[in-house]
Structure 1
Amino acid sequence: MQQAKFCPQCGTPLQEAQFGDRMRPVCPACGYIHYVNPVVAAGTLVEERERVVLIKRGVDPRTNTWGLPAGYVEADETAEEAAIRETREESGLDVALDDLLGVYSFGSAEQMRGVLILYAAHTIGGELHAGDDALDARYFAPNELPPDDQISFWTHRKALHDWRRARAVTYRAATEAEAIAAMEINLKYGQPPRDFLAIVRQDASVLLIATDGQTILGYATLAVDLPGETVRLDNVFVLPASRRWGIGTRLLTSSLDYARRRGVKRLITELDASNPAIVVYLKAGFRICGYLDLSLFQQPTATHPVLFLTYRIGD
């Protein structure tokens, strides 16, 4: 890692001096202290029809390897703006950001350290083609991803491994043993107590689970309110470590499939207005149809209204 030799304020040669918890370059003339901060990069994981966008790098480092659209953040832009710009420049796609996927450190003590901020995104325009500093740009399904030694950086490999693993999650009705396991998860994470065992034993209700092998990553409970009319979605929960990878959205999709199989006209649910998951419901096609301000009923603990959402089957 290249060290600064001269003071950028007065031009005096810098000297090593103890400052804080380490030796730092300090100007003996004006007192300037030179801090070496990590660089910041931003990028996107753009998914469309169960496929992810990768670009083939045309410049060093790692020329001719595949990676996610990403690059360094300029001083006059936000990380979000940089992620959108880099995606457009490298892949030709205009995107909107959906969620923060992760923050990854890279580099070493001998090299410049950096931080990659990665966002989930979806396309809103443009056409996929190799742009600046890229040789190629393609969509890859989970089973089509290049081998690890052809992925540009370990940060990109980690994100793609997580994405591929999330795509392999299965969604189905729970068994009685899995209902008991889900109740334990509910208790562990402080969710409202629910008798999932009773739910799986009834014909007019179901506990849907998202599983990675034998591990339950999330669940949703549904019950038929009015045969032929309404299915109620009581709650959707995903383990904190498994969020941001589309599992909640796919639990909603599975819930809609269940409602269609029951031949009902709509799926309804309710959420606290402060719940950030509302965005997931709206993107899945739910619409807000009303709200209830519980504070009007002299409930002092109610700080936000309850929103009622509905999804009309067939819309």
Structure 2
Amino acid sequence: MERCKNVWLAVSGLVISDKGEWLVVNKRYGGLKGQWSLPAGFVKNDETVDEAVVREVLEETGIHTEIEGIVGVRSGVIKGDISDNMLIFLLKPLSFEVNAQLDELYEAKFYHPDLLMKEGKQSLLLEQLLAFKKERMQTMLDGLNPGDQFGYTSYKLFL
């Protein structure tokens, strides 16, 4: 659609192990090149945002996850021309053997946030997530149908 061509929708996943370590990636490209950040990527036209974040985390790190909820939203405008939006999810890891996608990443690993901050190569988003409180998370309601007239093949609410 012409009206949405400069509107981006991305997702990122905060994956926290039982030991309190965060799954982080060090990107080879873009504005975060050489910095630790969350696994992230764009939503495809045939998937919901929760499906996209599970796919992106798996593609970038080899880690299987399940959705716990939405932590927050990042929204900005790039050079007055592109609306850049990202939903940040909390994910539970179902596997722990990291296999980094080395064409896009230098490295991916579970890393304790305190050590991450001491290293000083973290993204602004990672820094701000230190104050994250799970009680404020929005959880997913699935299996809903707002009416057949809309033609949804998938419909979820995060409240």
C-alpha distance in 1 between matches for 2:119 and 2:8: 24
In the alignment, residue 144 of structure 1 is paired with which amino acid?
Answer: L
C-alpha distance in 1, partners of 2:54/2:3? 29
Whether the 8 Å contact between 2:113 and 2:130 is mirrored in structure 1 is no
In structure 2, the gaps of 5 or more residues are 140-159
Q: Which runs of 4+ in 1 moved over 4 A?
A: none
1:108 counterpart = 2:1 = no
Deviations 1:150-189 (A, max 9, x none): 234x34432x2324xx5xxxxxxxxxxxxxxxxxxxxxxx
2:46 alignment partner AA: D
- Tell me the CA shift for residue 125 of structure 1: 2.6
Structure 1 contact 41–73 (Cα < 8 Å) conserved: yes
Relative to structure 1, the CA distance from residue 148 to residue 74 in structure 2 (aligned partners, 3 Å threshold; closer, same or farther) is farther
Distance 1:111 1:50 in 2: 38
Alpha-carbon contact 1:106-1:116 (below 8 Å) kept: no
1:244 is aligned to 2:137: yes
Q: TM-score, normalised by structure 2?
A: 0.73
Structure 2 counterpart SS, 1:135: strand
Following TM superposition, by how much is the alpha carbon of 1:96 offset from its aligned partner in structure 2, in angstroms? 0.4
| Structure 1 equivalent of residue 3 of structure 2 | 35
State the identity as a percent: 24
Mapped to 1, the partners of 2:74 and 2:15 lie a distance apart of 17
How many residues of Structure 1 are paired with residues of Structure 2 in the alignment?
Answer: 136
TM-score (normalizing by structure 1): 0.39
Deviation at 1:47, TM superposition (A): 0.4
Q: Any gaps of 5 or more consecutive residues in structure 1?
A: 1-7, 9-33, 167-237, 246-275, 277-315
The CA RMSD over aligned residues, in Å, is 2.7
Match of 2:110 among 139, 148, 154: 139
Q: Which has the higher contact order (CA 8 A, sep 6+)?
A: 2
Look up the match of 1:80: 50
CA contact (8 A) 1:106 1:155 kept: no
1:69-218 paired onto structure 2 within 5 Å: 69-125=39-95, 127-131=97-101, 133-146=104-117, 150-152=121-123, 154-158=124-128, 160-163=129-132, 166=133
Q: Deviations over 1:193-220 (max 9, x none)?
A: xxxxxxxxxxxxxxxxxxxxxxxxxxxx
Superposition deviation, residue 73 in structure 1: 0.6
Match of 1:67 in 2: 37
Determine helix, strand or coil for the equivalent of 1:93.
coil
